[in-house]
Chain A
């Protein structure tokens, strides 16, 4: 396995369901990110974890709950979502260090449809 992998690639859920998105990075990076990409809108930063500590929470509704058990894994737990939450959810990783370059490496994304 190389790079950043996301599962599932596609997910359809009802508004009352609970599901989780998983991300795993094999790059040895120490920061992981969740972005949301909706049609016709810029990528929206949702959460950032550095060394397993959440360092950014960009006013995301509580129905989205992130979890970072270690520097290689990141989850996004979903519950009672709304149809407007349908989007492509992208995970990314980067190496954060003094003089770091902040280059993001993205996974292929999880396409979420909320019915």
Chain B
């Protein structure tokens, strides 16, 4: 079982729609959860962090965490072509931050 699993996509959504990205993790001791965005040829950039169960909203982005289900998600509202990128889910326990393989998102 992979430590962090994401659907590799690609996920294609029309401009203005909601994009929904999902992630599951295996280590129940994980403490911090992140979403990074990576444009082609660029390095990952932190866009959301979440540390407790529930929802966290920041502009058009909402992160959701359910520790009982070991599930993290990212919603992007009013998707824009500039949101087209690979989204990496990351899970942290102490000095180890483990990344999923990423979901490619296309906004047309």
Closest residue of chain A to B31 (Cβ to Cβ) is A102
A101-B32, A101-B49 in contact; A45/B96 too (CB < 8 A)? yes
Q: Is the CB of A45 within 8 A of B43?
A: no
How many residues of chain B are within 8 Å of chain A by beta carbon? Answer: 24
A43-B88, A56-B95, A56-B96 in contact; A103/B46 too (CB < 8 A)? yes
Taking a contact as CB atoms closer than 8 A, the residue among B31, B44, B92, B102 that contacts A106 in the complex is B44
Interface residue? A115 (CB, 8 A): no
A56-B95, A102-B97, A104-B97 in contact; A42/B4 too (CB < 8 A)? yes
Could you say which interface size class chain A belongs to? Answer: 20 to 34
A40-B101, A41-B101, A101-B49 in contact; A107/B95 too (CB < 8 A)? no
Interface residue? A74 (CB, 8 A): no
Q: Cβ of A108: which chain B residues have Cβ within 8 Å of it?
A: 42-43
Q: Cβ of A41: which chain B residues have Cβ within 8 Å of it?
A: 101
A90-B44, A102-B32 in contact; A42/B92 too (CB < 8 A)? no
Q: Tell me how far the C-beta of B51 lies from the nearest C-beta in chain A, rounded to whole angstroms.
A: 7
Interface residue? B34 (CB, 8 A): yes
- The number of residue pairs between A and B whose CB atoms lie closer than 8 Å in the complex comes to 52
As a 0/1 sequence over residues 44 to 55 of chain B, the CB contacts with chain A under 8 angstroms (1 = contact) are 111001010000
A109 to B95, CA, bound (A): 20
Q: Is the CB of A42 within 8 A of B97?
A: no
Q: Cβ of A68: which chain B residues have Cβ within 8 Å of it?
A: none
Q: Is the CB of B46 within 8 A of A105?
A: yes
Interface residue? A55 (CB, 8 A): yes
Binding site for B on A (CB under 8 A): 31, 33, 35, 40-43, 45, 48, 50, 55-56, 90, 96, 101-109
Q: Can you give 13 contacting A-B residue pairs, CB < 8 Å? A: A31-B95, A35-B99, A41-B101, A42-B4, A42-B99, A48-B96, A50-B95, A102-B97, A103-B34, A104-B34, A104-B46, A106-B43, A106-B44
